[in-house]
Structure 1
Amino acid sequence: MKPYRIVVAGCGGMSNRWIDDALARDDAEIVGFVDIREESAKAAAERRGLRIPAFTDVSRAIEETNANLVFDVTIPASHKAVVSAAVEAGCHVFGEKPMAETMEDAKTVLERVRASGKRYAVMQNRRYLKPIRAVRDSIESGLIGQVGALHADFFLGPHFGGFRDAMDSPLIVDMAIHTFDQARFISGADAVSVYCHEYNAPGSWYKGNASAVCIFEMSDGSVFTYRGSWSAEGFKTSWEADWRIVGSLGTIRWDGETPPRCEVVDEAQPPSFLRAVKEVPVPMTWNGREGHEGCLDEMFASLRENRPAETDASDNIKSMAMVFGALESAATGKKVML
């Protein structure tokens, strides 16, 4: 028997990468599928030639399969119920973001996880890319001195159709947590306040506000600014955003696609009105798997080593606070303390 016996809750398209990764592991096996439609759970097993049971209730699935780990790839509205049931039944949980649909529900989930003594890690796959790891490591090494500001631009024009087009705040609710979490990861600091202005630009095909500008004050005294839109046609950024991190000694740029670049003050040159700068390398030394697979590697490692994962719920809730703080600020027109 392999050490990690997994029940997969949610059998939609999002679950495919999770399932494929688990099937390729030497230390894990899938022992059951759960979906609100039993036929979907059965179909997920049949597609992969797995002779394992299908369920409509996660608690029953855990009990009958003797599972010790749940993959929660259900819709956000189900996360609170699925995670609560899983940890109360003695399982660890790896789940898709967000932790819950509201900040209050996220806090409730975290309380239940802590009371259970189990682990709950959240998928934040954009931390697991070689360039962003290089940016983070270079900042930690002091390459650009003390960070004073982080700036992220996110401009795309995706025509999803479906539920996103009808959401009140599609950009902030459905996407911005990725960039907000990246800012925390890069800087090593947490947000302490936010001012956000949401709007819907001319030509937008979204019902709700699909554009926003946010100013976050961070716990280390730096400022993080976010400019984003999901209805911006032309000159698109990457999905990872376009970053400028300004420190006391220089600046790192990363466009989300190509390797990051860095310029620092050239101390060998005499002082001048605009100081001379030189480009210095940003070493890319991280050799882990990228994206979802990299995050799952970290999640499994945390269980083996009996420690919180890098994206443990106790950390991820701080990124969620940025999202819901931004929504509150946009609604009230005031700066919100987090």
Structure 2
Amino acid sequence: MVLRIVQVGLGGWGKNWASHVVSQNKDVEAVAWVDVHEETLLGAQKSLDLPAERCFSSLKCALEEVEADAVLVTASLPGHVPSALEALNAGKHVLMEKPFAPTIGEARQIIEAATQHNRIMMISQNYRFYPAPRVVADLIRKQELGPVYAVNIDFRRYDNVAPKGSYGHYIIWEPLLADMSIHHFDLMRMVLGQEPQEVTCKTWNPPLSNYTEPPTGTATITFDGGTVVSYRGSWVSTAPQTNWAGEWHMECEQGEIIWTSRGELPEYVQVRPRGKRVRSIKLPDYPLTDRSGSLNAFVQAVQSGQEPETSGRDNLKTLALMYATIEAAGSNRPVKLTAE
């Protein structure tokens, strides 16, 4: 059965979803497109050659006019909660971009609505859908080199070329921790198979930065299995850039696991047993990666009725880590996370 989807949010990222992800999936049919901004809607209609009668300024109108099974939310953060609740209360499944809510309380509202209406609500944590993190998670689960006790992660990019405060990325809220590091936080949980307990963080805005809010930060995160993660990220680094997933060095009892994923540099996983040479691990072929992998997992969850691994219920823990890190940076003190 083909899943009929209404897409909400047709800015630059939303248009990319429409043209490069949704349209390429044979198990999905886009039946309507929504954006509250008339100019954005008309621009997408023209550039994507969308039928005018299937383009709407509100999700409510779209759901009244077309038959749909699910809603894809690619709008900016302020549109996430109202779109998700509208869709779930109309009995539709929901796939959303991250971060999926501006507060933990609102995130819980969405999760409760999905439970009440027995619908799938999934977050597109697309960095999970690559071979390297899957292979590493398996190595850790099997304790190939024993327990992990320390992890060092570096993310470096120089995205600082537009005039200060000019547009989009340069003026968004928490451009590092909320827009980028949330991917790394989610990978930490996935790969380690542990949950965060405490975080400290320092962010800053270097003199060379064209960002309104801090694009650079460092954090220390303690997990419930005893692993301590040292994390560094920057949008304005002049050092060699990393892949989008960052560079990972995972120190285990019997050696080290080194890996990277998603980017211009080759994806790889290497293991260095203590006292021995580094060896590379052959990565499996993944026909669908990144957002295509997310969308495919969503379709499978809807068809099977099984909760996906990045359901809202699970991703709430990633969201909580993101907000705890932001709180730690703002308060200059450690922040504890609880199981609740």
- TM-score relative to the length of structure 2: 0.89
* 1:88-146 superposed Cα distances (whole Å, 9 cap, x missing partner): 00000111111012233222222222222111111111111222222222222322211
* 1:313-332 superposed Cα distances (whole Å, 9 cap, x missing partner): 11111111111101111122
Task: Give yes or no for contact 2:10–2:34 (8 Å, CA) kept in 1.
Answer: yes
What is the aligned length? 327
* 1:233-278 superposed Cα distances (whole Å, 9 cap, x missing partner): 132222211101111111111244331211113xxxxxxxxxx223
Q: What is the CA–CA distance in structure 1 between the aligned matches of 2:142 and 2:282, rounded to whole Å?
A: 11
Q: Kindly state the Cα deviation for residue 12 of structure 1 after the two structures are TM-superposed.
A: 1.9
Structure 1's 15 and 206: CA in aligned 2 closer, same or farther, altered over 3 A?
closer
Give the residue type in structure 2 aligned to 1:24: Q
Task: Give yes or no for contact 1:121–1:309 (8 Å, CA) kept in 2.
Answer: yes
Structure 1's 202 and 19: CA in aligned 2 closer, same or farther, altered over 3 A?
closer
In the TM superposition, 1:313-332 aligns within 5 A as 313-332=312-331
Q: What is the CA–CA distance in structure 2 between the aligned matches of 1:211 and 1:93, rounded to whole Å?
A: 32
* 1:292-336 superposed Cα distances (whole Å, 9 cap, x missing partner): 111111111111121111211111111111111011111222111
Structure-1 residue corresponding to 2:178: 173
Structure-2 residue corresponding to 1:309: 308
**Structure 1 unmatched runs, 5+:** 266-275
SS in 1 for 2:158: coil
Q: What is the CA–CA distance in structure 2 between the aligned matches of 1:84 and 1:28, rounded to whole Å?
A: 22
Pick from 273, 294, 299 the counterpart of residue 264 of structure 1.
273
Task: Give yes or no for contact 1:17–1:292 (8 Å, CA) kept in 2.
Answer: no
Identity score, percent: 27
* 1:44-97 superposed Cα distances (whole Å, 9 cap, x missing partner): 455335475222221221132121100111111110000000000000011111
Q: Kindly state the Cα deviation for residue 40 of structure 1 after the two structures are TM-superposed.
A: 4.4
Give the residue type in structure 1 aligned to 2:273: V
Task: Give yes or no for contact 1:125–1:295 (8 Å, CA) kept in 2.
Answer: yes
Structure-2 residue corresponding to 1:34: 34
Task: Give yes or no for contact 1:168–1:209 (8 Å, CA) kept in 2.
Answer: no
Q: What is the CA–CA distance in structure 2 between the aligned matches of 1:209 and 1:25, rounded to whole Å?
A: 37
Structure-2 residue corresponding to 1:87: 88
Q: What is the CA–CA distance in structure 2 between the aligned matches of 1:182 and 1:194, rounded to whole Å?
A: 16
SS in 2 for 1:233: coil
Structure-1 residue corresponding to 2:251: 246
Task: Give yes or no for contact 2:151–2:248 (8 Å, CA) kept in 1.
Answer: yes
Structure 1's 52 and 132: CA in aligned 2 closer, same or farther, altered over 3 A?
farther
Task: Give yes or no for contact 1:124–1:178 (8 Å, CA) kept in 2.
Answer: yes
Pick from 189, 195, 206 the counterpart of residue 190 of structure 1.
195
CA RMSD of aligned residues (A): 2.1
Structure-1 residue corresponding to 2:292: 293
Q: What is the CA–CA distance in structure 1 between the aligned matches of 2:320 and 2:297, rounded to whole Å?
A: 23
Q: Which moved more, 1:82-91 or 1:253-262?
A: 253-262
Structure-2 residue corresponding to 1:96: 97
Give the residue type in structure 1 aligned to 2:31: V
Q: Which moved more, 1:242-251 or 1:45-54?
A: 45-54
* 1:169-200 superposed Cα distances (whole Å, 9 cap, x missing partner): 32112211011111111111121211111122
Give the residue type in structure 2 aligned to 1:297: N
SS in 1 for 2:278: strand
Q: What is the CA–CA distance in structure 1 between the aligned matches of 2:83 and 2:173, rounded to whole Å?
A: 25
Q: What is the CA–CA distance in structure 1 between the aligned matches of 2:73 and 2:230, rounded to whole Å?
A: 32
Matched, 1:78 2:79: yes
**Structure 2 unmatched runs, 5+:** none
SS in 2 for 1:201: coil
Give the residue type in structure 2 aligned to 1:9: V
Q: What is the CA–CA distance in structure 2 between the aligned matches of 1:206 and 1:17, rounded to whole Å?
A: 24
In the TM superposition, 1:75-224 aligns within 5 A as 75-159=76-160, 161-167=166-172, 169-224=174-229
